Amino acid sequence: MKAASLPPSQVSLPGDFTGADLTPDRYVVELEAPVRRELSRLAAHATSGTIDARGVRAALEEATVRTKCILAGGYGVVLLRGVPTEGLEREVAVALFTAMGEALGEPTAQTLDGELVTDIRDTGADRNDPDLRLYRTSAEQDFHTDGADVIGLMCLHPAESGGVSRVVSSVRVARRIGEARPDLAPLLFEPWFLHLPGGRERGLPGAFSRPIATFDGAKLESFFIGWYIRRAESVPDVPPLDDARRELLALYEATANDPELFVDMSFRPGDVQWLRNAFVLHKRTEYVDPAPPAPRRHLLRLWLSAPYLADTTPRFSAQELGR
């Protein structure tokens, strides 16, 4: 797909927003007290990590309708506030979160081992390990996408400091680059190699190829993980980045980090964030955990397949990557 396919700036595209556009009334969904009480009741009656999923979806019907509207026809960013997570065992929180996610799509694998619900917390792992996924550390994760149509995070415990969730429109980032550097913009639509952590250990390729942006005449979708692009250079048979690609990579990250474009969210316990991955880049700032005995920062993550969005985000299951 050629960058010339990008429409003029006056043509409206889904998922195109600036920080000023993304006001709280456009993305924050507050749960009413009766809904919170019903979710608390359902969680209290959960046994062995099993919850009345139908009851959860019924209680959240109104919030789910609004969430789907924002994902499908809005900016693709939702912050659901007020989910009663305090005191829940992890298994119950997982069951509750999964039931919420199933109302929006089908949970899909987040790892090559098929993990459906991922714990986002600092495990003490070496952040410099090229095969380590950074969510297992407290390090900053610069703007990137994930591997599903909808990305969900549930906050169980926040950080002492840092750990801010920052979101930006990948549509606006690509358009800004097209306006500022039309000479570099065509590279967005050419294939880039990205490192596949742990791939070679499982007999899979050490890297895969994917354009940063695609445009089908209606939607401008993006897939971007800058540190995986840089790490791919160490994979055999992957060519090094030339000067133009290095310049574009730096420009893409600098544009995404423009304060005029992004919005920050500080998670509270019981917050649930849903993002439309094709249109939204997300970032996490470095964080510090509270001192013991306070619980460390702990989020749960879901990746959802949502065919009704008709997006083309690549999947990361071993079966698909091994094709």
> DSSP strand E in the chain: where?
28-30, 77-81, 106-107, 117-120, 141-144, 150-157, 161-162, 165-169, 191-195, 207-211, 213-215, 220-222, 263-265, 272-276, 280-284, 287-288, 298-305
Tens digit of each residue's pLDDT (9 = 90 or more) over 236-248: 999 999 999 999 9
Task: Give the mean pLDDT of the chain.
Answer: 92
pLDDT at position 319 is: 44
Distance CA 318, CA 215 (A): 27
Distance CA 92, CA 50 (A): 7
Q: Using a CB cutoff of 8 Å and minimum separation of 24, what contacts does 30-34 make?
A: 30/81, 30/82, 31/60, 31/63, 31/80, 31/81, 31/82, 31/83
Tell whether the torsion through CA atoms of 167, 172, 178 and 179 is positive or negative: negative
Tens digit of each residue's pLDDT (9 = 90 or more) over 122-149: 988 878 777 678 888 999 999 999 999 9
Classify 96 as helix, strand or coil.
Answer: helix
Domains of the chain: 31-321 (3.60.130.10)
pTM above 0.85, yes or no: yes
Tens digit of each residue's pLDDT (9 = 90 or more) over 177-218: 999 999 999 999 999 999 988 778 777 888 999 999 999 999
Question: Tokens in use for 290?
Answer: 């509270």
Distance CA 40, CA 82 (A): 11
